[in-house]
Amino acid sequence: MTITQKEAFDLVLMKFIDAHLDLYGYIQTKTVCEQFHMHRTRASKAMTEYRNAKPSNTRYNVNDKRHEKSYTFEKEFLKTSSLEFLNSVEVVFEKETSN
């Protein structure tokens, strides 16, 4: 089965959310925006898609404006190490610094 480039990128987003929740216990839409250089609307849509796929994984903390890992959290999309995945994403999507 082949997938489109958009579907592949969407899967990377879902895996990123899985990994970030797993390691840090929470994620903000702002985190997705900054990591992938995307508009807040697109990042918010990704968070909604993640919640729809596995509603029991997160709960929204209104005071801190973040999605927090629930007690019943299980990685839904990522089957490998969360730390290795986040490190890989950082390498691929890192911001270039000017010297």
- Rounded CA-CA distance 20/75 in Å is 10
Write down the pTM of the prediction: 0.88
Mean pLDDT, to the nearest integer, of 81-94? 88
Amino acid at 21: L
For the domain covering 5-87, report its CATH number: 1.10.10
Q: Where are the domains of the chain?
A: 5-87
- Please tell me the number of Cα atoms within 13 Å of 80 on its side-chain side: 9
Token pair of 85 as six digits: 């995945």
For the chain, give the mean pLDDT: 92
pLDDT in tens, 37-75: 999 999 999 999 999 999 999 999 999 999 999 999 999
pLDDT range class, residue 94, cuts 50, 70, 90: confident
CB neighbourhood size of 1 (10 A): 2
Q: Which of 64, 62, 67, 52 is nearest to 21 (CA)?
A: 67
- Rounded CA-CA distance 23/7 in Å is 24
